[in-house]
Structure 1
Amino acid sequence: MTNGCTLQMALLLWLPIAALSTNYNLLQFQQKRGNANCSELLRELEGAPEHCMESRMDFKVPEKIKQPQQIKKVEAVVVIHEMLLQIFDIFEENFSSTGWNETTVAKLRMQLHFQMDRLEEALMEIIKEGNFTPGNLTLMQLRSYYYRMRQYLRDKMYSRCAWTVVHVELLRNFSFLQRYTVFLQN
């Protein structure tokens, strides 16, 4: 696992930052690898028993998130960044009731942060060029979606079952992220 992270850091240092913002193929390659690493770490965090799925909730994923082909590539970069940021923030919540390995959670957060850093240069260029406005409806819907997850955790007092429900939803998020990442190449 650490060899993969070391390789990614080395690649990032060798490649000019400007290339990240203009080369969607490179960005797609890096995000695909990062998504795989995050998904693997997320799977390492064991959920609670199946009975917790009785508490399952529909957090209402925005329709545009389910279908990336409906948006432009520049918006895809913004959506990917926002999703990673929101997932990162969720793992700042109290997960002590889960029994999860704190080192694994820390690695996951580090990997999410690393992915966000790679996207920031492209994101800044997109905003600078006026190709995307921060008040975009998709972003507002996305933020509401993650707010519902955090609120659910709070309402359930960060119980192990609540975290299991959110954990399953976050695993699903990585399938959406993968679709967006593939979309960058097209």
Structure 2
Amino acid sequence: MYDKKAVYVWIQHELAGLCLLHVCLTLLFSIEISSQLCTMLHFQQNKMNKEILELLKKMSGIFPSQCIRERTAFKPTQEVSQLPLFQKDNAKMAMQEILQEIFNIFRKNLTQSTWDGISIVRFQNRLYQQIQQLEACLKAQMEKDLTNPESEDLQHTSWRVKQYFQGIDAFLKEKQYSLCAWEIIRVEIPRCFVLTDKLNRTL
């Protein structure tokens, strides 16, 4: 005669073991996928950067002549393309931060931009995909190494990147998100991809 309570406890124990095994296998599988993603990261980021720059052009086309005089009003705090490069893992983090800041800027008030809506959505989607890829790769790397690759140099550059984008944000607010303000930022943003391309080449 089986003890029902003992059988029940045994079943619960076995199920818990299976659940733990499932979680472990899922984690290992996701890390393996993320590792493969990291291997292809350089190629994927390079391809997406080209697509994003094309979408930036398609949004509006030729820079409006009425905005030429206003263009001198935008004076960035620094040349973002001249920020220093990093070792491989820090480069990934720097790229992710730059792309996230661009994504945040282009989620603001675009009502006066008169840009092509489809190009805007595709631009935002491509940026989001890049950010997610970098995040997955960094997460897998940190789980594998059990270390945080962030350094003092990266923290300093992170601060400088935030400063640069705060300047863009302040400019848009000052100009009340006007058509010309958005056009000026649209032609400024490709400079950021000069840096992400440099960072990408270090991967």
Q: Give the TM-score normalised by structure 2.
A: 0.73
User: Which moves more between the two structures, 147-156 or 43-52?
Assistant: 43-52
Q: Kindly report the root-mean-square deviation, in angstroms, between the aligned alpha carbons of the 2 structures.
A: 2.4
Q: Is residue 16 from structure 1 mapped to residue 16 from structure 2 by the alignment? A: no
In structure 2, the residue matched to 1:4 is none
- State which structure, 1 or 2, has the greater radius of gyration over its C-alpha atoms: 2
* Equivalent position amino acid for 1:85 in 2: Q
Aligned residue pairs total 166
Structure 2 residue corresponding to 1:38, chosen from 13, 29, 52: 52
What is the identity percentage for the equivalent residue pairs of Structure 1 and Structure 2?
Answer: 25
* Equivalent position amino acid for 2:58 in 1: E
Q: Give the TM-score normalised by structure 1.
A: 0.79
Secondary structure of 2:189's partner? helix
Q: Is residue 129 from structure 1 mapped to residue 155 from structure 2 by the alignment? A: no
Question: Matched residues in 2 for 1:151 and 1:126: separation?
Answer: 35
User: Which moves more between the two structures, 44-53 or 161-170?
Assistant: 44-53
Q: Is residue 138 from structure 1 mapped to residue 157 from structure 2 by the alignment? A: yes
Q: Is residue 66 from structure 1 mapped to residue 82 from structure 2 by the alignment? A: yes
In structure 2, the residue matched to 1:170 is 189
| Per-residue deviation, 1:177 | 1.7
Asked if structure 2 preserves the Cα contact closer than 8 Å seen for 1:62 and 1:142, the reply is no
| Per-residue deviation, 1:72 | 1.3
Question: Matched residues in 1 for 2:150 and 2:142: separation?
Answer: 6
* Equivalent position amino acid for 1:39 in 2: L
Question: Matched residues in 1 for 2:86 and 2:50: separation?
Answer: 23
* Equivalent position amino acid for 2:33 in 1: P
Question: Matched residues in 2 for 1:79 and 1:62: separation?
Answer: 15
Asked if structure 1 preserves the Cα contact closer than 8 Å seen for 2:87 and 2:202, the reply is no
In structure 2, the residue matched to 1:77 is 92
Structure 1 residue corresponding to 2:103, chosen from 82, 88, 103: 88
Question: Matched residues in 1 for 2:46 and 2:78: separation?
Answer: 21
Structure 1: which 5+ runs fail to align? Answer: 1-14
What's the CA shift string for 1:27-55, capped at 9, x where partnerless?
11010011011111111111641341322
